[in-house]
Amino acid sequence: MATLDYFRSAMQDLHRNLWEAIKDLNKEQLHFRPLEKGNHIAFMIWHAVRTEDSVVNFVLQKKAPVWNAEGWDKKFGMDPRAQGTGMTAEQAATVRINDLAEFLKYTEKVFQASEVYLNGLKEEDLDSVGDFPYFGKRSVGQVIGGVIIQHNAEHLGEIWYVKGLQGMKGSPI
């Protein structure tokens, strides 16, 4: 299997698992903070999707993220530039998803944009090295595999863990 085929498959699986992990949660479940200190699921999913949106659109394609281009920051009453990195636990706790259905619409658009981007790449594009904002000199493959897929998989694991702490089923595996 070629690397790009693996990335496409991994990203589709990751998107499906992230979606399934949150789609039926209520506000209380979304905002439960382990020990009143840890990050809640709403923050984790918002951060994961916002990061993917920023990296795929802004960093790799040099265009506005879906978050800004479609006014999702305004719809959710959130900072147009924030995506969670560098926030304190107290700041992260203030992130709210009060309308999960609307957030899932944003999520779907980001996931579609990412998959369209990957489907437009060629295997050799993964070896292209750039000096990317926030990441320095890396290949496109390193950004996709490490910054997007690995990063979001880590947050998916956290989401499953916090669901388990609440007595819900975590990982389907």
Task: Residue 132: give its domain's CATH number.
Answer: 1.20.120.450
Q: What pTM value is reported for the model?
A: 0.94
User: What Rg do the C-alpha atoms of the chain give, in angstroms?
Assistant: 16
Residue 62 lies in a domain: yes
Contact 123, 131 (CB under 8 A): no
| pLDDT value, residue 141 | 97
149 in a structural domain: yes
Q: Locate tokens 């693996």: which residue?
A: 6
Number of domains in the chain: 1
39 belongs to a structural domain: yes
Q: Is residue 173 part of a domain?
A: no
Q: Is 36 a domain residue? A: yes
In a domain, 171, yes or no: no
Specify if 29 maps to a domain.
yes
The answer to whether position 38 is within a domain reads yes
State the residue range of the domain holding 74: 3-165
Q: What are the pLDDT tens digits along the chain (173 aa)?
A: 799 999 999 999 999 999 999 999 999 999 999 988 899 999 999 999 999 999 999 999 999 999 999 999 999 999 999 888 989 899 999 999 999 999 999 999 999 999 999 999 999 999 999 998 888 999 999 999 998 999 999 999 999 999 999 999 877 76
